[in-house]
Amino acid sequence: NAGVTQTPKFRILKIGQSMTLQCTQDMNHNYMYWYRQDPGMGLKLIYYSVGAGITDKGEVPNGYNVSRSTTEDFPLRLELAAPSQTSVYFCASSLAPALGETQYFGPGTRLLVL
């Protein structure tokens, strides 16, 4: 079972460059999330989606954009990379949070902006 997959695993960007972090899940989960984890910190929510075509901002959305055209995919876009976006990014999905279902996390993408 693949679960939640993320690509790339690691990327170095120059300031001002753009990139898309890919996230795919094969569990038919409606809910998907993007988090960032800064050193020594817990995860902070960037964006989330409750289904195809529906997205909403989390705690730290500035500098990012998302789209959800299919149930499986939830890409995160960085338009103008800044050093403050150096972090580890996690994608997650869940089936039924109303029932206390946990979120399943991908392996993470480590991003370094120089």
Interface residue list for another protein (CB under 8 A):
33, 40-45, 48, 50, 56, 88, 90, 92, 97-98, 100, 102-105, 107-108, 110
Using the minimum distance from each CB to another protein, give the nearer residue, 42 or 62.
42
- Considering the complex, what minimum distance in angstroms separates the CB of residue 44 from another protein? 8
Using the minimum distance from each CB to another protein, give the nearer residue, 28 or 41.
41
Using the minimum distance from each CB to another protein, give the nearer residue, 41 or 62.
41
Cβ(49)–Cβ(68) below 8 Å: yes
- φ/ψ (deg, to 5) at 98: -65, -20
56 Cβ contact partners less than 8 Å away, ≥ 6 residues apart: 47, 48, 49, 50
Q: Among all chains, which residue has been given the structure tokens 């901002």?
A: 57
